[in-house]
Homo-oligomer: A and B are copies of this chain.
């Protein structure tokens, strides 16, 4: 068994990691940290863990992680990088769920996150942990930067079209997310009465997942679209889990049909276990609790736009599930290990 630490276990993402790891045959959680709950037992913070399972609910939450082979870091940015450096020094392999190692360029990081990067020397070599794109590098890495939830849905939706070079560089992503993406810290914005029966756009002056999307899509596009003209507007939807990204692009060639773009996408993702190209409009609920991303590309025939709708569970394929997928690869386990659960529906 591979020993696992979860750093900042009191977050929703960490809780989801516990749920997934409970069914994982090779990973065993032996250390959990969390500054706000030091000395408490895991089952005291999350009573639903007091059941018979592979997760030991009597684990005591500590301030520092005990030595383990693998660590999942669920800290906020900046704090994450500092901890990651320490863990790497100890020889622990790390999946970092923060944004700290997602951007290749330290100045871009600093422009968006408003502080200097604690370990810029690692940026160039840390793989962006979207397995569907960077499978090779992840296998040989010690640290993986787990992608953002919005970024995962958006990049997966755009990759095949930009890799094939069939669309122009103008992209609009209108994204919708449930409230769990905002985390477990109480705020007026995420109060039940404010979220329920409401939808609103937010981060209108630029959401931090935008540079990730730009970086990865430009990389796959190569010289064809060096300068993505990307508008990304996220919306908060009254649901707990789920992200739906509706992506609008312009086809270079007017002869594309829905059938042909679906074939292009199906071919691109043919061997991917967690990406499914479907021929109807996908529902976020199809992915509730599962590691699947559903993608539906179609041509808006009146305007010859390529529209791609993608969806996933922001806490699974958008966070904890993808982190386990990355961890599987760090340890050369089959990529789907522990991740074959179906969506909880309805």
A residues apposed to B, CB below 8 Å: 12, 15, 18-19, 22-23, 46-55, 170, 172, 174, 176, 178-180, 184, 186-188, 190-202, 204-206, 229-231, 233, 235, 237-242, 244, 246, 248, 273-274, 276, 278, 280-290, 292, 294, 298, 300-303, 305, 307, 309, 311, 336, 340-346
9 tightest A-B contacts by CB? A48-B286, A193-B346, A186-B186, A198-B285, A174-B174, A192-B195, A200-B283, A179-B192, A19-B342
Indicate if the CB atoms of B240 and A196 lie closer than 8 Å. Answer: yes
Given known A46-B345, A198-B242, A342-B18, contact A184–B174 (CB-CB < 8 A): no
Tell me whether A303 and B229 are in contact (CB under 8 A).
yes
Q: Which of B194, B240, B280 is A47 in contact with, Cβ under 8 Å?
A: B280
Structural contact, A48 and B186, CB atoms closer than 8 A = no
Judge whether B174 and A298 touch: CB under 8 Å: no
Once A176-B235, A307-B231 are accepted as A-B contacts, the answer to whether A284 and B200 lie under 8 Å apart by CB is: yes
Please give, as numbers and ranges, the residues of chain B lying within 8 Å of A49 by CB-CB distance: 342
| In the complex, residue of chain B having the shortest beta-carbon distance to the beta carbon of A193 | B346
Q: How far is the CB of A53 from chain B (nearest CB, A)?
A: 6
